[in-house]
Structure 1
Amino acid sequence: MASLFELVLLVPESAVESVSDALDALDALSVSVEDADALTPAESALFGEPGMPPPKDGWQRSRVVALFSEEAAARDAARLLALQDFFVGCQTLGVQSVAEQDWVRLTQSQFEPVEITPTFWIVPSWHEPPAAAQQVIRLDPGLAFGTGTHPTTRMCLRWTAQRDQTARRVLDYGCGSGILAIGAAKFGASDIVAVDIDPAAVEATRLNAAANHVTLQAGLPDLAHGVFDLVLANILATPLKVLAPLLCAHVAEGGGQLVLAGILARQADELRDAYAPWVALEVSDEEEGWILMTAAKR
């Protein structure tokens, strides 16, 4: 099997952006940046709260790995970088061959069926459903968030599976892959609207709905009109707080349900306060530090 070649560099934080840009210009197939001190006492976190932008371009000591199709190209890139002013303080660790892999098979092997309840499973198209599965969502990893592997998605689906959705009107706000909307349809909802600010997510939702033989409307947020018996929003705490008036306005009076996820356990009080003018949120589920918050609009 043919090989690719890695150029491995040790780069201080101040030069990460310049080196990465130069590698792109030198036709690297890919460039990745890692903490050179990972798994040591000097390891440091780079990212902050979920949903917040990274505060830095790299770590204090970053390991930059560039992939090239030919060894000569990798060695030429190392030679040219060494001549640049911005490369002062950087170090070339070497060039090494990397066997090409069947990336499709490798990716598929990382996604196994996901259990939501003992009888409800998320199953990639290349797997057979488990024998115990009575209800299945067929979903392959894609560009849009929501494959069933994240605790927030599992908690939303578990909540839906434990309640009768027959004849209910459902809104999935921030639909991503459409998995929550599809889950509502699988458990009886008949009028489903799924919206997202990302056109790629809208298209993913339409494709996934068709693959699961589910009928729904998918579009940008202005597609959502009127009130719904169930409003689902699996986003993150900060946008959920901003969206509080809008989401609550979509929840039907007299028992309409609001289900929110993407919230860390320590953020529960913030969300309760943000939604207090309209509904009384409570924690309904918790998994791996994430919580599900729900409320009924009386």
Structure 2
Amino acid sequence: MFELRLLCGESQVEAVSEALEALDALSVSVEDADAQTDAEQALFGEPGLPPPREGWQRSRVLALFGQRAAAEEAARLLAAQDFFADGQVQGIEEVPEQDWVRLTQSQFAPVEITPEFWIVPSWHEPPAQARRVIRLDPGLAFGTGTHPTTRMCLRWIARQPLHGRRVLDYGCGSGILAIGAALHGAPEVDAVDIDPAAVQATLDNASANGVELRAGLPEAAQGRYEVVLANILATPLKVLAPLLCGHVAPGGELVLAGILERQADELAQAYAPWLRLDVADTEDGWILMTGQR
């Protein structure tokens, strides 16, 4: 495998990236060419929204090709394009062969939720102190336990008496919250998502963990629940306020995540007609909000 390294301005990044993809690059990535220097630029965007800019003032574009000849041809063709007039070809380097499966797996270690509750990929042994374990490998659906919002939801689940309580996981992704609720004693768990791939992932993950739950599209959520969990993002959570609150049984609890600290007031206002939301947990700038019907 061979890596073509290019330097270009912010305005060129999109055109260069599209050209590399058209030239059959196996992957294209962009990074700040001034990273780790005084000229480094912070480039932040809202979760779930497109980045504010396509690249940095000085962007390094890296493209992988299977053969050196393909990388050389891509460099030659790019150099002749008007949109790359101010760009530079910095070189082509061979990328050493690696065990990519093992390398990928090494990035996903067991995740502690509580000292007794862990998320453990299938290639790891559970820690000795683990009493409850969710076996979950990275997949297409959101929710592997590495994100603060997922961890906060699971911490909340681990500290609740769920025996005899009907639970809804709205926007289930991988099904991790639904599985966590089932493992902590919830006798009836429904998990719904707008993405059919997430529904299938939830069913597969539930089977792998030996728990029973129902999974389907949003219309599969029927009636009221003693616990409603929704780990999405602030904007859809505001839109869903009437629907989610309508699924909370009297005396039941609503648990919301995917919310930044600065969004607490707007979420509280959106849900005020039905219940009072309070911040129950916080981690790395994210918050967990809960309320009782």
> If the length of structure 1 is used for normalisation, what is the TM-score?
0.95
In 2, Cα distance between equivalents of 1:287 and 1:86: 43
In 2, Cα distance between equivalents of 1:92 and 1:201: 41
Alignment check: 8 A CA contact 1:36 1:61 kept = yes
Q: CA deviation at 1:21?
A: 1.5
Alignment check: 8 A CA contact 1:165 1:184 kept = yes
Alignment check: 8 A CA contact 1:182 1:209 kept = yes
Q: Which residue type is aligned with residue 80 of structure 1?
A: L
Q: CA deviation at 1:55?
A: 2.6
Q: Deviations over 1:16-58 (max 9, x none)?
A: 1221121112111111111212222322233422122223222
1:252 aligns with 2:249: yes
1:296 aligns with 2:262: no
Q: Deviations over 1:80-136 (max 9, x none)?
A: 111112111111011111112111101111111111111111111111111111111
Q: Percent identity?
A: 74
1:57 aligns with 2:54: yes
Equivalence for 2:167: 170
In 2, Cα distance between equivalents of 1:118 and 1:30: 39
RMSD, matched Cα: 1.1
- The within-5 A match list for 1:172-187 is 172-187=169-184
The 3-state SS of whatever aligns with 1:229 is strand
Alignment check: 8 A CA contact 1:259 1:293 kept = yes
In 1, Cα distance between equivalents of 2:54 and 2:177: 34
Counterpart among 215, 238, 256 of residue 235 in structure 2? 238
Gaps of 5+ in 1: none
The 3-state SS of whatever aligns with 2:281 is strand
Counterpart among 269, 275, 296 of residue 271 in structure 2? 275
Q: CA deviation at 1:140?
A: 0.6
Equivalence for 2:94: 97
In 2, Cα distance between equivalents of 1:79 and 1:52: 35
Equivalence for 1:141: 138
Gaps of 5+ in 2: none
In 2, Cα distance between equivalents of 1:17 and 1:39: 23
Q: Deviations over 1:239-282 (max 9, x none)?
A: 111111110000001x1010011111121111111111100111
Which moved further from structure 2: 170-179 or 50-59? 50-59
Q: Which residue type is aligned with residue 256 of structure 2?
A: L
Q: Deviations over 1:64-94 (max 9, x none)?
A: 1111111121111111111112111111011
Equivalence for 2:116: 119
In 1, Cα distance between equivalents of 2:13 and 2:128: 50
Alignment check: 8 A CA contact 1:34 1:59 kept = yes
The 3-state SS of whatever aligns with 1:99 is coil
Counterpart among 12, 16, 27 of residue 15 in structure 1? 12
Alignment check: 8 A CA contact 1:47 1:53 kept = no
> If the length of structure 2 is used for normalisation, what is the TM-score?
0.97
In 2, Cα distance between equivalents of 1:38 and 1:200: 37
Q: How many residues align?
A: 293
In 1, Cα distance between equivalents of 2:165 and 2:8: 56
Q: Which residue type is aligned with residue 211 of structure 1?
A: A
Counterpart among 129, 133, 136 of residue 132 in structure 1? 129
Alignment check: 8 A CA contact 1:264 1:290 kept = yes
The 3-state SS of whatever aligns with 2:151 is helix
- The within-5 A match list for 1:166-245 is 166-245=163-242
